[in-house]
Structure 1
Amino acid sequence: MKRLLFGAACAFFLALPVAPGLAADAPPREPYGIDLEGFPYPYPVNLLPLVNDGEQLRMAYMDVAPQQPNGRTVVLLHGRNFPSSYWAPVITMLTAAGYRVVVPDQIGFGKSSKPSGELHFDTLARNTMALLDHLGIDRADIVAHSMGGMLGVRIARAYPDRVTRLVLTAPIGLEDYRLYVPPTPTEQIMETEDRLTAEGYRKQLETNYALKLPPDQVTPFIDARFNIKASAGYPRWLRAFVSSGQMIYREPVAHEIPLLALPTLFIMGADDHNAPGRANAPEALRPQMGQNAELAVTLAAKMQNAHAEIIANTGHLVFLEAPDQYKELVLGFLGK
Structure 2
Amino acid sequence: MKTLNTIIFLLFIQVSATAQSNQLKWLDLELTNYEYPYPVEYLQLNIQLQNLKMAYMDVKPENYNGKNIVLFHGKNFNGAYWKTTIDALTKEGFRVIVPDQIGFGKSSKPENFHYTFQQLANNTKMLLDYLHVTKTAVLGHSMGGMLATRFALMFPETAEKLVLENPIGLEDWKLVAPYKPVEWWYENELKKGYQQIKDYQLASYYDGKWKPEYDEWVNLLAGWTLNSDYSRIAWNAALTYDMIFTQPVLYEFPNVQAPTLLIIGTRDRTALGKGLVSEDVRKTMGLYENLGKQTQAAIPNATLVEIPNIGHLPHIESFDQFITPLMKFMKQ
Give distance in 2, aligned partners of 1:293 and 1:170.
11
Q: Give the match for residue 122 of structure 1.
A: 118
Q: Give the match for residue 106 of structure 2.
A: 111
**For the aligned residues, what is the CA RMSD?**
1.8
Q: Does 1:189 align with 2:185?
A: yes
Q: Give the match for residue 34 of structure 2.
A: 39
Q: Does 1:303 align with 2:304?
A: no
Q: Judge which range, 265-274 or 285-294, deviates more.
A: 285-294
Q: 1:30 aligns with which of 11, 25, 28?
A: 25
Q: Is the 8 A contact 2:172 2:248 kept in 1?
A: yes
Q: Is the 8 A contact 1:83 1:110 kept in 2?
A: yes
Deviation string for 1:96-147 (max 9, x for gaps)?
Answer: 1100000000001000001222311110000000000000000100111010
Q: 1:252 aligns with which of 248, 255, 263?
A: 248
Q: Give the match for residue 168 of structure 1.
A: 164
SS of the equivalent of 1:285 reads: helix
Q: 1:93 aligns with which of 84, 88, 96?
A: 88
Q: Judge which range, 86-95 or 209-218, deviates more.
A: 209-218
Between Structure 1 and Structure 2, how many residues are aligned? 318
Q: Give the match for residue 222 of structure 1.
A: 218
Q: 1:73 aligns with which of 57, 68, 77?
A: 68
Q: Aligned-pair distance for 1:227?
A: 1.2
Bigger RCO of structures 1 and 2 (CA < 8 A, at least 6 apart): 1
Give distance in 1, aligned partners of 2:314 and 2:270.
13
Q: Does 1:330 align with 2:326?
A: yes
Q: Which runs of 5+ in 1 are unaligned?
A: 1-18
Q: Give the match for residue 84 of structure 1.
A: 79
Give distance in 2, aligned partners of 1:183 and 1:214.
32
Counterpart residue identity of residue 160, structure 1: P
Q: Does 1:314 align with 2:317?
A: no
SS of the equivalent of 1:228 reads: helix
Closer, same or farther: CA 39–143 of 1 in aligned 2, 3 Å: same
Q: 1:142 aligns with which of 135, 138, 143?
A: 138
User: Which structure shows the higher helix fraction?
Assistant: 2
Q: Which runs of 5+ in 2 are unaligned?
A: 1-13
Counterpart residue identity of residue 230, structure 2: Y
Q: Does 1:235 align with 2:252?
A: no
Q: Give the match for residue 58 of structure 1.
A: 53
Closer, same or farther: CA 67–20 of 1 in aligned 2, 3 Å: farther
Q: Is the 8 A contact 1:297 1:307 kept in 2?
A: no
Q: What is the percentage of aligned positions where both structures have the same residue?
A: 36
Deviation string for 1:163-210 (max 9, x for gaps)?
Answer: 000110011110111111111022122112211221121111121223
Give distance in 2, aligned partners of 1:60 and 1:315.
28
Counterpart residue identity of residue 70, structure 2: V
TM-score by length of 2: 0.91
